[in-house]
Chains A and B, each alone.
Chain A
Amino acid sequence: MAKRLVIDPITRIEGHLRIEVELDDTNTIRDAWSSITLWRGIETILKGRDPRDAGLIVQRFCGVCTYVHYEASIMACEDAFGVKPPPNARLIRNLTQGIWFLGDHIMHFYHLHGLDWVDIVSALKANPRSAVDLAKSVHPNPWNCSETHYKAVQDRLARFVKSGRLGPFANAYWGNPSYKLPPEANLVIASHYLDALQVSKTAAAAQAIFGGKNPHPQHLVVGGVTCVLDVLNPSRLGEFLYRSKEVNDFVERALIPDVVLAAKYYKDEGLAGVGGGVKNYLCVGGFPLDDEGKTFLFPRGFVKNRNLVKALPIDEAKITEEALHSWYQDDKPQHPYEGTTIPKYTGYDQEGRLKGNEKYTWCKAPRYEGEPCEVGPLARMIVGYAAGDKKIKALIEGTLKATGLPATALFSTLGRTAARAIETKLVGDQIETWVNELVANIKKGDVRTWTPCDVPKEGQGRGMTEPPRGSLSHWIRIKDHKIANYQAIVPSTWNCSPRDKSNKRGPYEESLIGTRLAKADQPLEILRTIHSFDPCMACAVHVIDPGGKIHQFRVA
């Protein structure tokens, strides 16, 4: 007899997510549904406003992947206005996005995802001296590594446990057999969990040098950036560089070794392809390396059916969204420019569960060529690898060699987590290059930070970028100098997508199929896979052209 397991709230994510799975007698997942349980309707709010204001508003889609929607919206406007920002602005945008890439991925690995791999209570049993040896086996000079420090961390954790008030560590799954790290590895990574809090703050502060603050920086305008005082001030550039190096140092000496360490013990899961999910990967191109938008640090492309040797070019006309299983009217697939969506909430069934065969989420189902696609670090690394990008290929091959895993192990929960660490290094290594480019450009006498422009009477445009969580595209239509239509297809819409008309599951759902739970009442394995996507729900839920009053829709 199949049993239904409901996990709500999924914690350690942005926003509100519910996962329901069906387990068979061996506690193996046979079917899965992911549902977003909050709708805010920000695109409805945008209608009729000044297009230049959209960036600041859509930035509030999400406070975790802050900045990225701001940038995508500004890019969509630039496309619609027909304006190109000057080189300094492109570099500042790459730097602000890049530094938070590091901060965000660090925060994700340790604070949002780490506790799925690391058993905090087991760390109390570790021998601090052996922990030092273990840390040194994966890096010659590990971050904050000493017997006394590890001992202090243990004492601090012990105090927590002894007080009986575990705070965020309470009621978790400690001791679950699915935790595979030895106590020493748990201690090393737990110590970095605490250190990472400081490091991600440093990254946030670095972003704020240009952005004014983090979360929600405020330094972009259509046509360029506003932080001209900081751009032209060598000491500010120095402060930025100093902080970015500190963060990058943590990536080199803590993040990468910790992921390699985890991979050693969770190797079997990678080999078995646990959490692999859908077989198509999409990347819309991230971090432009030239002012024409031709070359990217993350190459643009589509990989079909896990073909690691060929990345196909993207045809934007093939992107659709449908709402057959989403709480909106209009079930047919629509291109983002043309979409019309009206909320149609039908609620849960009588037992308070999702109606899996009907509508069951506020998330729509984006498809490329009618196929569900995974987006995010794994997709970027796979597309880059398939496209033959030299830097990406070298990094992936190096990591596979260090862990002794074949390339096929990438298609798993572990692979997704490893891909995130790999690209953190790729971006981290690039930051100094961009600072140098900026300095060289200013030295040439180019101090432009803004290209003059004005709102056109009519127009449409799209902005595409690759924030930490995956492919992001914003689509805007302007009429009478005002926003007529706005839509965002965000990374989590792709990944958290429900089923479509051909009954193909979305990436979260597909990735859970076949996973076996060690304990049916502890959804640890589910959390591990779902978190590996770095879910971010608030931004995944949106609407275009409501066209009707919402309160008139009744709950079925």
Chain B
Amino acid sequence: MVGKHYRRLLEQCKIRMDRFEKEYPAPREDFQALLKERGVSRRDFLKWTSFMTAALMLPPIFKPMVTRAAENFSRLPVVWLHFAECTGCSEAFLRSSYPNVDDILLETISLEYHETIMAAAGDQAEKCLEDCIHHFPGKYVCVIEGAIPQGLNGQFMRLGPKGETGVQIGKKVTSKAAATICIGSCAIWGGIPSARPNPTDAVGVSKALGISTVNIAGCPPNTVNFTGTLLYFIMFGAMPPLDGQGRPIWAYGKRVHDFCERRPHYDAGEFVEQWGDEGARRGWCLYKVGCKGPYTFANCPHLRFNDHISWPVMAGHGCIGCTESGFWDTMAPYEKPIHEATFGGGERTVDKIGTVLTVATVAGVAAHGVLSAMRHGRTDKKDGTTTGAGKE
């Protein structure tokens, strides 16, 4: 049984997709042909569609819509800006290979501006950016990687032929964008450059520009979370429901600790006491050597990285909580459990702390995330633009 709510949503989605196909430029790539060229069978593609639909927390009736969004993926112009960053998020995106359909989607993405891969440089690169803003106002998605340093009036970072600061470029590009997606911790809340003592006074994009953003958290994030969010945007013209920190719930709604493959050992009280010990050779729980999985919301254990091959806990190292705000300070030291004093007592309370965090997140979701998605859906109808939902 599909609820009334979803049937209405499906109608909205259809209207949006019709409009999207009419208003956006023709696809740059023939998606189905590429699938064939890469040897992705129809069956594999259907499997991926089911996976993605479920991952986005949508019922199966949306599967044809996910397919349609994938076919239209290369219509969406994307501008990718680099601020104070390490390019790890771009690299994660270039090296993603799971699931293989995502992989192809990311190859076909219409990147109008991306400094790491574009052929043009200097003035010619600048022209690519200006062309995109000019040709696709209110249509393109702006992806931002990296924090914005505010110290020295922002001049710790000056970019482009005119030597502009992050705030100047950021305002110019995001003001005409349909939505702004922050990829990685730095763009979201300042990340590594903002770690104590924050020498350049680096902050996230949302704070520096005073806009709301959709936050794909992680250092670097899992690319599937990025692709899924873009697909959702194509389908609904709005960003997916977000949690209190602007992270899509479909990707960041669950706690690492709760579906970690080492969880049974935690419950059985079997811990790695030091690196390379008997417990480590048996794959026991890493809590005592600093795993921050109990405080971290992300889908890493489920998706893993690089062709689903591994993830940090599988490699025997604890999670460092890289999807959580301020983790460079709050989760340190990374090889020790968070000090007992912080949360008032030992590992027995780990679950309690997790529950508190979950409740807080769910509360944030209920109060804000879902509503904001609907609200932005309406904004979309009114003036043809939506800035995406986020932390306020």
A residues whose Cβ falls under 8 Å from a Cβ of B: 6-16, 37-42, 44-45, 49-50, 52-53, 56-57, 60-64, 66, 107, 111-112, 115, 120, 152, 156, 159-160, 163, 165, 167-173, 197-198, 200-202, 204-205, 207-219, 221, 223-230, 232, 239, 343, 345, 347-348, 352, 447-450, 452, 521-523, 527, 538-539, 543, 546, 550-551, 553, 555
**A-B pairs with beta carbons under 8 A, tally:** 309
Instruction: Tell me if A11 and B200 are in contact (CB < 8 A).
Output: no
Instruction: Tell me if A230 and B328 are in contact (CB < 8 A).
Output: no
User: Of B119, B275, B316, which contacts A223 at CB under 8 A?
Assistant: B275
User: Of A37, A168, A345, A348, which contacts B117 at CB under 8 A?
Assistant: A168
Q: For B112, give the chain A residue with the smallest CB separation.
A: A167
User: Cβ of B243 < 8 Å from any Cβ of A?
Assistant: no
User: Of A10, A228, A546, which contacts B122 at CB under 8 A?
Assistant: A10
A344 to B160, CA, bound (A): 21
A62 to B25, CA, bound (A): 35
Q: For B97, give the chain A residue with the smallest CB separation.
A: A201
B residues whose Cβ falls under 8 Å from a Cβ of A: 25-26, 28-30, 37, 77, 82, 84-92, 94-97, 103, 107, 110-112, 114-125, 127-128, 131, 149, 151-153, 155-163, 191-193, 195-202, 219-220, 274-276, 280-281, 283, 304-307, 309-317, 320, 328, 332-335
Instruction: Tell me if A66 and B88 are in contact (CB < 8 A).
Output: yes
Q: How far is the CB of B220 from chain A (nearest CB, A)?
A: 6
A211 to B95, CA, bound (A): 15
Q: How far is the CB of A498 from chain B (nearest CB, A)?
A: 16
A64 to B153, CA, bound (A): 28
Instruction: Tell me if A447 and B281 are in contact (CB < 8 A).
Output: yes
- Chain A residues closer than 8 Å to B199, beta-carbon distance: 40-41, 44-45, 343, 543, 546, 550
User: Of A11, A115, A239, which contacts B115 at CB under 8 A?
Assistant: A11
A11 to B82, CA, bound (A): 11
Given contacts A172-B120, A201-B96, contact A64 B87 (CB under 8 A): yes
Instruction: Tell me if B95 and A215 are in contact (CB < 8 A).
Output: yes
- Give 24 CB contacts A-B under 8 Å: A7-B123, A11-B121, A12-B116, A14-B116, A15-B87, A16-B159, A40-B156, A40-B192, A41-B193, A45-B198, A56-B320, A60-B86, A63-B89, A111-B117, A170-B120, A173-B120, A201-B96, A212-B310, A212-B314, A213-B306, A215-B91, A229-B316, A352-B163, A550-B151
A523 to B122, CA, bound (A): 8
Instruction: Tell me if A41 and B200 are in contact (CB < 8 A).
Output: yes
Q: For A166, give the chain B residue with the smallest CB separation.
A: B119
User: Of A6, A16, A208, A539, which contacts B309 at CB under 8 A?
Assistant: A208
- Chain A residues closer than 8 Å to B88, beta-carbon distance: 60, 62-64, 66, 215-216
Instruction: Tell me if A216 and B276 are in contact (CB < 8 A).
Output: no
The SS class assigned to the B binding surface is: loop
Instruction: Tell me if A159 and B29 are in contact (CB < 8 A).
Output: yes
Instruction: Tell me if A551 and B112 are in contact (CB < 8 A).
Output: no
Q: Which of A8, A14, A61, A111 lies at the interface centre, i.e. has the most chain B CB atoms within 10 A of its CB?
A: A8
Instruction: Tell me if B122 and A218 are in contact (CB < 8 A).
Output: no
- Chain B residues closer than 8 Å to A49, beta-carbon distance: 332-333
Instruction: Tell me if A347 and B155 are in contact (CB < 8 A).
Output: yes
Q: For A204, give the chain B residue with the smallest CB separation.
A: B95
The 7 A-B pairs at the shortest CB distance, nearest first, are namely A63-B88, A212-B315, A450-B276, A41-B199, A172-B119, A226-B316, A213-B305
- Chain B residues closer than 8 Å to A64, beta-carbon distance: 86-88, 91
Given contacts A156-B29, A213-B304, 20 further A-B contacts (CB under 8 A): A7-B121, A9-B125, A45-B328, A57-B328, A63-B90, A115-B119, A165-B25, A167-B112, A170-B128, A171-B125, A201-B95, A204-B95, A216-B88, A217-B315, A221-B317, A229-B316, A352-B162, A449-B276, A550-B152, A550-B200
Q: How far is the CB of A329 from chain B (nearest CB, A)?
A: 14
Q: How far is the CB of A228 from chain B (nearest CB, A)?
A: 5
Q: For A539, give the chain B residue with the smallest CB separation.
A: B86
A420 to B189, CA, bound (A): 38
Instruction: Tell me if A7 and B315 are in contact (CB < 8 A).
Output: no
Instruction: Tell me if A226 and B200 are in contact (CB < 8 A).
Output: no
A115 to B122, CA, bound (A): 15
Q: For B316, give the chain A residue with the smallest CB separation.
A: A226
A217 to B320, CA, bound (A): 12
Q: For B283, give the chain A residue with the smallest CB separation.
A: A229
- Chain B residues closer than 8 Å to A217, beta-carbon distance: 315
Instruction: Tell me if A216 and B220 are in contact (CB < 8 A).
Output: yes
Instruction: Tell me if A40 and B334 are in contact (CB < 8 A).
Output: no
Q: How far is the CB of A196 from chain B (nearest CB, A)?
A: 11
Given contacts A40-B192, A41-B200, A160-B28, contact A10 B152 (CB under 8 A): no
Instruction: Tell me if A229 and B120 are in contact (CB < 8 A).
Output: no
Instruction: Tell me if A8 and B192 are in contact (CB < 8 A).
Output: no
Instruction: Tell me if B276 and A224 are in contact (CB < 8 A).
Output: yes
User: Of B30, B160, B202, B281, which contacts A9 at CB under 8 A?
Assistant: B160
A197 to B123, CA, bound (A): 27
A302 to B320, CA, bound (A): 39
A120 to B25, CA, bound (A): 23
Instruction: Tell me if B157 and A39 are in contact (CB < 8 A).
Output: yes
- Chain A residues closer than 8 Å to B220, beta-carbon distance: 63, 215-216
A213 to B198, CA, bound (A): 27
Q: How far is the CB of A352 from chain B (nearest CB, A)?
A: 5
Q: For A170, give the chain B residue with the smallest CB separation.
A: B128
- Chain A residues closer than 8 Å to B310, beta-carbon distance: 208-209, 211-213, 230
Q: How far is the CB of B199 from chain A (nearest CB, A)?
A: 3
Instruction: Tell me if B332 and A228 are in contact (CB < 8 A).
Output: no
Given contacts A8-B159, A39-B156, A449-B276, contact A523 B309 (CB under 8 A): no
- Chain A residues closer than 8 Å to B312, beta-carbon distance: 212-213, 218-219
User: Of B116, B117, B317, which contacts A212 at CB under 8 A?
Assistant: B317
Q: How far is the CB of B30 from chain A (nearest CB, A)?
A: 8
User: Of A42, A226, A452, A550, which contacts B193 at CB under 8 A?
Assistant: A42
- Chain B residues closer than 8 Å to A521, beta-carbon distance: 123
User: Of B120, B121, B160, B201, which contacts A551 at CB under 8 A?
Assistant: B201
Instruction: Tell me if A171 and B116 are in contact (CB < 8 A).
Output: no
Given contacts A7-B122, A41-B200, A215-B88, contact A168 B111 (CB under 8 A): yes
Instruction: Tell me if B314 and A229 are in contact (CB < 8 A).
Output: yes
A444 to B28, CA, bound (A): 57
A173 to B127, CA, bound (A): 13
Given contacts A39-B200, A57-B328, A171-B120, contact A227 B86 (CB under 8 A): no
Instruction: Tell me if A201 and B307 are in contact (CB < 8 A).
Output: yes
